[in-house]
Chains A and B, each alone.
Chain A
């Protein structure tokens, strides 16, 4: 992967949240890069900074309270962290898209779901196909103005009957087929529904459909399958894989489910208290975890037929990000900690080819 062009590269990113309890250091000098067509799985316990990393890349951190203290993020050659909103607009959507963690409020409550997906399709079409008659797309009533209800139904009928307006009906049938591809069995009904009429899992799939229809170069998926049953989850993972195959999309896949991470990722980063502590290919990480935290994490993950009833849990507590000790963040919970671990911070260094770990045991 090292030789291929990286689509996202993050350099020593430090993000803090200013709260009344002090500065919460959500990201502590995080560096990582994702290559084109690569799926990078980001795993870690709740509150370790995964969403913060995703939001930093999409430039949607709530500022305030968040602030980027130092570090840069590059999307291809663009320094995202220095761009204005207008410049970001051109990158977002087809360049970078993000599926947010909470599916409940991600969709606009006053517009029909179908229109919200169609809007995404329009963005893509507008950018990818210069011969496409833009004016015609933008004249498409339902998406542009408020009287869309009847117009939408009207165009829906037309599209089904294959009548005029072939370009509009193309958008509509794409909406319907994308919804179908995320295992929504009655796409017409869902497309015509308002978000509040759908379940959490359905809304999550609508967001995924939106991602699929944008075909972004870089997709950040923040726990995109958390509200879905296993079968649907498997289907969604396949959708994402085909996105990678067909359009060589790169994905940052955030999850706390190691099985999901193992299924979809090429490479996995393990995060702990705002730092990436280990990074390796899926195969290496699961075969032979290096960092003591990863070892603990994998022990709590029931593997194959070695099912244990008791889930392993690492003793001690997740450190308070508002007052991190100077040394290794994992030191208070680490059984192999040395005196040095309490004073110096281990850096994420390459110990083998394509294998990085931040731990003094491997220096």
Chain B
């Protein structure tokens, strides 16, 4: 099987998983609220309005037709309307999502930059002080809940030492660059507004760092164990006995093999970041998907909850797909599978 067929097959499978997700969100929304139209209007519905809504959202039709309309809507860009603000869900998501994208990308970068070198350091100094220190750090990282980390860092670096701003995306005196992509940093760069770029980055560092701090352990642990495994493999001995120099043995023969399994956890990590954004965005007052979702949950905003659930699932499926493809490209053995 070539890499192309492999990719196509994975793509095909992803679509099925996606359909599964739509079924799940649909069922949940119907179980939690048998008649969302009624829930949206309030306890004493105006019968005419209710009827109109029922018609508009196809609640007067059988369930399978409702599901059909729901799926069609999802793929044609009609994700429903926020009953509180009367703004289409997709428009709202477009407003909130960029912050979460920034947060996730920054956190991934930090946790990769932290996690991979630490994992390697730990593996090459196995059993020594460095290794023990790294292992202790990732144990703490994965066992302390994220909101505790957030609060401690906020208190320490934000309120007491005042090194980082404690909330928001931009300082009050910095104007928000015109929206092009929605990502402030990108927009700032596109419009040549370096000041806004730096200010936004400065605001995002503490939340991203918090998120990264509680997740780099996942990477470190995996890199460490696979590096240890690779260092003891027979082919590493072959590389040594061939007379190759240290760097070639390590960076050419070992590292690539050791990093292959790490690729697979990026989907897992994304899921972790999206979950973490629920806490982080609330604690640091960032208007992102995490905050949007918590508010939607608290307000029983069913269309919004369905929308974010679907979006999160979609992201994770896409990340899984990317991880699979990367894996196939990096490891020649996969394509045969």
Residues of A within 8 A of B (CB): 58, 60, 62, 85-86, 89-98, 100, 102, 104-111, 119-120, 123, 127, 146, 194, 196-197, 207, 210, 214
Closest chain A CB from B210 CB (angstroms): 35
Closest chain B CB from A352 CB (angstroms): 36
Q: With contacts A60-B241, A194-B332 known, is A89 near B234, CB below 8 A? A: no
The 5 closest A-B pairs by CB, nearest first: A93-B243, A105-B234, A108-B235, A194-B332, A92-B243
- Give the docked Cα–Cα distance between A194 and B253 (Å): 14
Q: With contacts A62-B232, A85-B246, A196-B336 known, is A96 near B241, CB below 8 A? A: yes
- Give the docked Cα–Cα distance between A58 and B242 (Å): 10
- Give the docked Cα–Cα distance between A85 and B246 (Å): 8
Residue B244 contacts which of A95, A98, A119 (CB distance < 8 angstroms)?
A: A119
Q: With contacts A93-B244, A98-B241 known, is A106 near B257, CB below 8 A? A: no
Closest chain B CB from A142 CB (angstroms): 12
- Give the docked Cα–Cα distance between A42 and B3 (Å): 46
If A210-B238, A214-B242 are given as contacts, then 9 extra A-B residue pairs at C-beta distance below 8 Å, sorted by A number, are A85-B246, A86-B246, A90-B243, A93-B243, A94-B243, A98-B241, A106-B237, A107-B238, A123-B243
Contact string against A for B residues 194-237, beta-carbon threshold 8 Å, 1 for contact and 0 otherwise? 00000000000000000000000000000000000000111101
| Set of chain A residues within 8 Å of B238, measured between Cβ atoms | 100, 106-108, 207, 210
Closest chain A CB from B329 CB (angstroms): 10
Candidate in B235, B238, B246 with the most chain A CB atoms within 10 angstroms:
B238
Name A62's closest neighbour in chain B (CB-CB): B232
Q: With contacts A108-B257, A110-B332 known, is A100 near B243, CB below 8 A? A: no
| Set of chain B residues within 8 Å of A197, measured between Cβ atoms | 336
Contact B333 A194, beta carbon cutoff 8 Å: yes
Contact A110 B331, beta carbon cutoff 8 Å: yes
| Set of chain B residues within 8 Å of A210, measured between Cβ atoms | 238, 242
| Set of chain B residues within 8 Å of A109, measured between Cβ atoms | 235, 257, 331-333
| Set of chain A residues within 8 Å of B5, measured between Cβ atoms | none
- Give the docked Cα–Cα distance between A60 and B234 (Å): 10
Contact B242 A92, beta carbon cutoff 8 Å: yes
Some 5 contacts from A to B, beta carbons below 8 A apart, are A108-B238, A123-B243, A123-B244, A196-B332, A196-B336
Contact A108 B240, beta carbon cutoff 8 Å: no
Name B249's closest neighbour in chain A (CB-CB): A89
Contact A93 B257, beta carbon cutoff 8 Å: no
- Give the docked Cα–Cα distance between A334 and B232 (Å): 39
Contact B240 A60, beta carbon cutoff 8 Å: yes
| Set of chain B residues within 8 Å of A106, measured between Cβ atoms | 234-235, 237-238
Contact B246 A107, beta carbon cutoff 8 Å: no
Closest chain A CB from B118 CB (angstroms): 23
- Give the docked Cα–Cα distance between A193 and B102 (Å): 42
- Give the docked Cα–Cα distance between A93 and B237 (Å): 11
Closest chain B CB from A223 CB (angstroms): 14
Closest chain B CB from A175 CB (angstroms): 14
Closest chain A CB from B230 CB (angstroms): 10
Name A105's closest neighbour in chain B (CB-CB): B234
